[in-house]
Chains A and B, each alone.
Chain A
């Protein structure tokens, strides 16, 4: 598959454990944040999003936490599975209002799940 990043921080977890991936965002005016998952050879895939008027949002096995005070996002994955192995990116909309086509992406974290 294609390498999406040669200098990514890596998180290695055991199957069944919970994973926490962190991200610092850059623009205090950003009001929309998204987590994406990218598997080798594929484009990023939407996982979960959150607006700036929330500090927590839950999905299926995933939770996103937003701390606007320190401009920090985290993604929690419960009961991590081998299929969760991928590179995870946080993205922010940069505060451009309704236009969401210009996302600012973080550098990414590679999650490796050991069976």
Chain B
């Protein structure tokens, strides 16, 4: 069974540009969550999508957005990039079933974004 894949693995952008990152979940998983990882702030939750709808959102500015497609693949977009957006962006997929059922999240390898 293929794991979570993220593309691209590395990206270099300049301030003011925008970027789109892609995540393909494990087959059958309907929930995709995105996290930002930096040395200073650690791992921080960005948002979660389930069945093409944003189910949860973390405390990030509106420059960070995402979407999910009918095949559960997800993209996140960061507009007007700032130096502080340099980070490892991780996505995680799970079955995402609610109702008190806890489903393991499987993480991809991440996309390393560098903003110059």
Q: A residues touching B (Cβ–Cβ < 8 Å)? A: 2-7, 32, 34, 36, 41-46, 49, 51, 89, 91, 93, 96-108
Find out whether the CB atom of A49 lies under 8 angstroms from the CB atom of B104: yes
Contact-residue size bin, chain B (C-beta under 8 Å from the other chain): 35 or more
The docked-state distance in angstroms from the alpha carbon of A64 to that of B99 is 24
B-chain residues with CB within 8 Å of residue A44 when the two chains form the complex: 43, 90, 92, 107
Check A41 against B94 for contact (C-beta < 8 Å): no
- Chain A residues near B110: list those with CB within 8 A: 42-43
CA distance A114 to B5 in the complex (A): 32
Within 8 A of A (CB), among B3-58: 4, 31-33, 35, 37, 39-40, 42-45, 48, 50, 55-56, 58
Give the complex CA separation of A5 and B41 in angstroms.
9
Known: A3-B39, A108-B42. A98 touches B56 (CB 8 A): no
Nearest chain A residue, comparing its CB with the CB of B100: A98
A interface: dominant SS:
loop
Minimum CB–CB distance from A9 to chain B (whole Å) comes to 12
Q: Does B65 contact A (CB under 8 A)?
A: no
Specify which of A2, A5, A32, A102 is in contact with B48 (CB 8 Å cutoff). A102
Please name all residues of chain A whose beta carbon is closer than 8 Å to the beta carbon of B109 when the two chains form the complex: 41-43
Min C-beta distance of B79 to chain A, whole Å: 22
When the two chains form their complex, are residues A101 and B90 in contact, meaning their CB atoms are under 8 A apart? Answer: no
B64: A residues at CB distance < 8 A: none
